[in-house]
Amino acid sequence: MNEALRKKLLGAGVDLDSALERFMGNEGLYLRFAGRFLEDRNYEELLKAMEKGDTKAAFAAAHTLKGVSGNLSFNCLYGRVAAVVEPLRCGDLEAARKLLPELSGAFEEIRAVLEELKI
């Protein structure tokens, strides 16, 4: 992985060391999976469910997004989405809504980096 790519990912809150460990040191495989993140629709599903007031669907989408971001070591996004998952787990949609701006910021940051790098 070139240094510019590495710096961009690190700057977006990606823990590359743990990610590459999880992917057995295979940078190409990791980058392929990271690029597929752009196809993941759980963030959009979370927003739709929260807009509709569907706590159960919002929890499912947030929980899945948490898993995906965790597996890819997108630590900044993972932390933000984990914070949203907990109130949704308890059925507290309003508490989750208050945390949504931070989650959205982290999501947009990682998405912008992945799009810029054309991973």
pLDDT tens track for 26-62: 999 999 999 999 999 999 999 999 999 999 999 999 9
- The reply to whether the predicted model has a pTM over 0.85 is yes
Phi-psi region of 15 (alpha: psi -120 to 50; beta: other; left: phi over 0): beta
Q: What are the boundaries of each domain within the chain? A: 3-117
Burial code (b: 16+ CB inside 10 Å, e: under 16) for 24-56 equals eeeeeebbebbeebeeeebbebbbebbeeeebe
Classified by CATH at the fold level, domain 3-117 comes out as Four Helix Bundle (Hemerythrin (Met), subunit A) (1.20.120)
pLDDT at 119 over 90: no
Q: Output the pLDDT for position 101.
A: 97
pLDDT digits (tens, 9 = 90+) for 65-81: 999 999 999 999 999 99
d(CA 64, CA 59): 8
- In the block, residue with structure tokens 């057995």: 24
> What confidence tier does 1 reach under pLDDT thresholds 50, 70, 90?
confident
